[in-house]
């Protein structure tokens, strides 16, 4: 059982994790940069450890300093929050190697879902619908329009819409350069662009007994490929499509024996009433409170429960989730 948990993050998400820990009787540890020393999340923790420096690169992104803070504080678990080191498989492994409980998915799951190219291949093998990967040589006029996407990262960077085949090679070069600059990885891929596509993501929780699906969120309202509004449940979604989305998300998580909270993102074509796997976020998301409010659950508490190896309460099925 976890008795003292360090949050390797700052601000709102640190406060959110602390709130669940207080209710569960778990002591909390904050880490903070010099610039953040006076912020509320530092005061709300039972203990605070300074990370010398002011920038994220000097502090919150320093896995060695975070692990040393855990050792000094006597914490027996680390929650990564979102951003920073939350999807860093090496950090997750280092936490485990230090004998601490990692409140997140297995490092292998982070690696396998970290590449959009590899994850698409995995999902196709698991029977989850994916868009066809295309190349300069294989793409035809019938495939247009196309979308060039970065394999790593997100936030709309490394993405280019292509409407003529003559532009494809040049757009691949531009997207690759942008991806390399933003993420340190210039790998890109090409797939059909769904003009009327909606972005629908499914909240999952993998545990020892299977995969709990806690509904979906529609995040189609975006600016520059970045989410602006999240709505749950997704509006104007045929019930058969909703059920199929949930089943596909369950299959995606089960395919990698996923443990913990995660989000499986899909592109939904409302004209054809078809959906396609986009990616899986192997962490808690900024928008997790939308699901919590709709379904009446505490996702942070569920993360901790899974990390402790405890069974998930079957009563959750009554609030909208279901077990796979």
Nearest Cα residue to 195 out of 121, 258, 271, 138: 271
How many CB atoms neighbour CB 129 within 10 A? Answer: 15
- Catalytic residue at 283? yes
CA distances from 142 to 137, 145, 163, 192 (A): 13, 8, 11, 10
CA distance 276 to 266: 5
CA distance 206 to 227: 25
Q: What is the DSSP letter of 250?
A: H
CA distance 164 to 145: 7
The contacts of residue 310 (CB under 8 Å, 6+ apart) are none
Q: What residue spans of the chain are helical by DSSP H?
A: 11-24, 40-44, 63-73, 89-97, 107-114, 116-125, 168-183, 239-255, 288-295, 299-307
Cis peptide before 145 (omega within 30 of 0): yes
Catalytic residue among 16, 112, 217, 283: 283
Phi/psi zone of residue 84: left (φ > 0), alpha (ψ -120 to 50 degrees), beta? left
Q: Which residues are catalytic?
A: 283
């Amino acid at each position: 059982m976890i008795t003292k948990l360090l949050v390797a993050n700052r601000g709102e998400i640190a406060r959110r994790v602390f709130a669940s820990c207080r209710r569960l009787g778990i002591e909390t540890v904050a880490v903070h940069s010099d610039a953040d020393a006076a912020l509320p999340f530092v005061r709300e923790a039972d203990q605070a450890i300074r990370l010398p420096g002011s920038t994220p690169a000097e502090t919150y992104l320093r896995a060695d300093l975070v692990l040393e803070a855990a050792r000094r504080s006597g914490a027996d678990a680390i929650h990564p929050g979102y951003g920073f080191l939350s999807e860093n498989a090496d950090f997750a492994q280092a936490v485990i190697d230090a004998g601490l409980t990692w409140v997140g998915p297995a490092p292998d799951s982070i690696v396998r879902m970290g590449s959009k190219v590899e994850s698409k291949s995995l999902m196709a093998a698991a029977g989850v619908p994916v868009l066809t990967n295309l190349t300069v040589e294989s793409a035809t006029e019938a495939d247009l329009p196309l979308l060039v996407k970065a394999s790593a990262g997100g936030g709309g960077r490394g993405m280019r819409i292509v409407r003529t085949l003559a532009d494809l090679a040049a757009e691949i070069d531009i997207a690759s350069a942008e991806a390399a600059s933003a993420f340190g990885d210039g790998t890109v891929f090409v797939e059909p662009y769904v003009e009327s596509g909606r972005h629908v993501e499914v909240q999952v929780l993998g545990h020892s007994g299977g995969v709990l699906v806690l509904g979906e969120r529609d995040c189609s309202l975006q600016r520059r490929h970045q989410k602006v509004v999240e709505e749950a449940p997704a509006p104007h979604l045929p019930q058969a499509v909703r059920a199929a989305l949930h089943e596909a998300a369950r299959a995606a998580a089960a395919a990698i024996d996923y443990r913990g909270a995660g989000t499986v993102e899909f592109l939904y074509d409302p004209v054809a009433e078809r959906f396609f796997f986009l990616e899986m976020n192997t962490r808690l998301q900024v928008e997790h409170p939308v699901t919590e409010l709709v379904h009446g659950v505490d996702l942070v508490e569920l993360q901790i429960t899974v990390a402790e190896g405890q069974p998930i309460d079957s009563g959750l099925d009554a609030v909208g989730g279901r077990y796979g």
